[in-house]
Amino acid sequence: MGSNSRVKSLYGRHAALVSGHHLASRSADEALRAGGSLIDAMIAASAMLAVALPHTSSLGGCAMMLYFDAASGKVHALNGSGRAPLAAEPALFPEGLPQRGSRSWLTPTLVRFWARAHERFGRLPWRRLFEPAIAGAREGMGCSEELGRNLRIASDLVLSQPGFRLAFAASGSLLRSGDLFVQPRMARVLEEIAERGESGFYEGWVAGSLLEFSRSIGGLLTADDLAQARADWVDALMGDAGCGSVHVMPPNSSGWLMLEQLAERNTLPDPASQISQDILKAIDIIAHKDDAPPSAGAAAVSVRHSDGASVYPVRRKHSCEPGDTTGFVGADAQGNAISMLQSVFQPFGSGCVDPGTGVLFNNRMYDFSLDEGSANRLEPGKRPVHTLNPYLVLRQGVAYVAGASPGGVSQTTTGFQILCGLLDGEATLGAAVSRPRWSLGRDGTVLLEEGIAEEVAQRLRAHGLNVIENSNHEFYFGSVKVVRVHQETSMLEAAADARREACAIAW
């Protein structure tokens, strides 16, 4: 990206906020200005993201979050990832796990995630947080360019799922960018959640509609699954990256992969050599990782799944399958910082949309394995290996950087490159976000954006790798949201990636 056209950083003293949609960033800003906490701002943004970007997120999806609480000086990690339905036995899938459709769902957990976050760190009344999203759903909003693009490229397998066309082609034609997107059923669901809390989703008429939809199309979701859905406070993983202590979600998240990439990086004077080395080490870590847990030196903690299972393997047929995700990062004048991601996994998740509520279900079941002996083997009530990778960096015990990006397992390579930009001396977050990136395709192909020296491709091909230069792939390079706290001036900095859709606010 040219120096004049690159992303620019925004600066403020009171708040720095970035999300995947301008209305979500605005909702977060309004919550803060009303006296809310950074967690209140996150929930307001998250609800709006579920309305504005349904190809990336939904009430039928999940979320993960890292939150630095300045008052206690602690990083809090909230795992709101979904679990397999209690009826989801491997024997049900003799032909393999479905990528889309009624049996690709995990139990939705986003609303549980909101509730656990708010009860610990919320300040504003719960109902107040959903007012912008309710209004946006009821009155309608412009179909975003990213939503319109994803509808244009959606496969027949997605378009043909129950309820999909009612949600996105009610007039007979699929929504296009700029069309009015009205979701009256979603507005009713959000009103129920605003009025009744989490029980407004997991009980009552909303739950009844979701369960009847599941039953009618052969899904596995039951009332017991909804009752047992939960979000859990867990301990973050931490590693040293030179720029500070980097915190990521523990397994079932794949965030530890980013810690290993940072731990194994050796600084080289030549940029082409540096990038080539970074890519080769990432390939070794991601594509050729066995089932063994990461070394204690890389993660600096005991790496265990929050449920007690060993770390999940990453090597599987779709380990770099592009995913679509959105999120929110922020920092405030009190020294708090947050990084949150929410998802339905791949664009439009399962493709199934409940006609009674407008809730689109995720397709995270596809993230499991059916291999005997795999730590990631499907089991009822289990969480699968997960691609969500929010990250926080602390310096001398206070918040320094909060970042997140969509992109499946490439979330870890994108986060790695952003932090490397700071290590390499990029003066602003905007410059770090705008640096040309590399990524790994699902088949092991290395993708290089325009601006990466041709010498890098030559070095990688000498190692027998397939390389695509000047790639502008729509998913693999992510869409970074990142904020930074300048401790010496108390200035807050925010940058929003231009590769997809993101919006930063600082004041």
Inform me whether the pLDDT recorded for 309 exceeds 60: no
Cut 0.85: pTM above it: yes
- CB neighbour list of residue 156: distance below 8 Å, 6 or more residues apart: none
Contact 65, 77 (CB under 8 A): yes
Average pLDDT of the residues in 427-452: 94
Q: Give the range among 262-266, 284-288, 417-421, 447-451 with minimum mean pLDDT.
A: 284-288
Mean pLDDT for all residues in the chain: 92
Distance CA 278, CA 299 (A): 18
Instruction: Give residue-wise pLDDT tens across range 108-145.
Output: 999 999 999 999 999 999 999 999 999 999 999 999 99
Instruction: Give residue-wise pLDDT tens across range 399-413.
Output: 999 999 998 778 999
Instruction: Give residue-wise pLDDT tens across range 9-28.
Output: 999 999 999 999 999 999 99
Query: What domains are defined for the chain?
Result: 11-506 (3.60.20.40)
Inform me whether the pLDDT recorded for 492 exceeds 70: yes
Inform me whether the pLDDT recorded for 265 exceeds 60: yes
Inform me whether the pLDDT recorded for 250 exceeds 90: yes
Average pLDDT of the residues in 346-372: 97
- CB neighbour list of residue 383: distance below 8 Å, 6 or more residues apart: 79, 81, 82, 83, 84, 106, 252, 305, 306, 307
The better pLDDT of the pair 3, 335 is held by 335
Instruction: Give residue-wise pLDDT tens across range 201-222.
Output: 999 999 999 999 999 999 999 9
User: What are the C-alpha distances in Å from 362 to residues 131, 215, 325, 486, 501?
Assistant: 25, 16, 11, 38, 21
Q: Nearest Cα to 341, choosing from 384, 388, 387?
A: 388
List alpha helices for 67-203, DSSP H.
Answer: 110-121, 131-139, 145-153, 156-159, 164-168, 184-196, 199-202
pLDDT at 346: 94
Distance CA 478, CA 472 (A): 11
Average pLDDT of the residues in 423-429: 89
| Sequence letter at residue 337 | A
Average pLDDT of the residues in 81-92: 98
Q: What percent of the chain has pLDDT over 70?
A: 92
Rounded to 5°, the CA angle 16-21-27 comes to 60
Q: Give the range among 224-233, 288-297, 488-497 with minimum mean pLDDT.
A: 288-297
pLDDT at 297: 32
Average pLDDT of the residues in 470-495: 94
pLDDT at 441: 86
| Sequence letter at residue 395 | R
Instruction: Give residue-wise pLDDT tens across range 310-342.
Output: 333 333 444 334 567 999 999 999 999 999 999
Inform me whether the pLDDT recorded for 230 exceeds 70: yes
Quickly count helices (H) and strands (E) in the chain. Answer: 17, 19
pLDDT at 291: 39
Instruction: Give residue-wise pLDDT tens across range 153-174.
Output: 999 999 999 999 999 999 999 9
Distance CA 130, CA 190 (A): 7
pLDDT at 307: 37
